[in-house]
Structure 1
Amino acid sequence: MESGGVTAGVGAEKNSWPEVVGLSSEEAKKKIVENKPDASVHVVPADSFVTMDYNTGRVRVFVDSSDKVTKAPRIG
């Protein structure tokens, strides 16, 4: 079960960051790394094509032309 970006369970790790939508990419990266220090954070323009592979060490941050986060970043 998932609730607010945190997977339920003992020792659950945050897997999405809806609270960073609307922030700049740098602010979003800081918040993500606070929760997941080993994450490889990738900033991607919102209209870009990306691979569909799933990578538990990667978090993609989609931004608009003003460098604002457009959707909740998540692990994958």
Structure 2
Amino acid sequence: MSSSETPKTEWPELVCRTIKEAKEKIKADRPDLKIEVVPVGTIVTQEFDENRVRIWVDTVAKTPTIG
């Protein structure tokens, strides 16, 4: 990224991608960011952190089973 470009702050193209794909793409674009994977509905702190990006997830990928 050249000094005249604004650093990326959103990744709408990652909706419906895997967590792994999302993390890899964000790290490729912005290696300076800390990534947090958070289940939808989780209570999180509300302070703004310019060094953090949250990946909100809400699907069950595999059948929950006992054992």
**When the two structures are superposed, what TM-score results if normalisation uses the length of structure 1?**
0.70
**Greater strand proportion:** 1
Pairs aligned (count): 58
| Residue of structure 1 in register with 2:54 after alignment | 60
Write out aligned runs for 1:1-76 (5 A): 10-66=4-60
Q: Secondary structure at the match of 2:47?
A: coil
Higher CA-based Rg: 2
Structure 1 residue 56: deviation in Å?
0.5
2:34 counterpart letter in structure 1: S
Unmatched 5+ residue regions in structure 2? 62-67
Q: 2:13 is matched by which residue type in structure 1?
A: E
RMSD, aligned α-carbons: 1.2
Runs of 4+ in 1 over 2 A off after TM superposition: none
TM-score by structure 2 length? Answer: 0.79
State the structure with bigger RCO (CA 8 A, min sep 6), 1 or 2: 1
Aligned-pair identity (%): 38
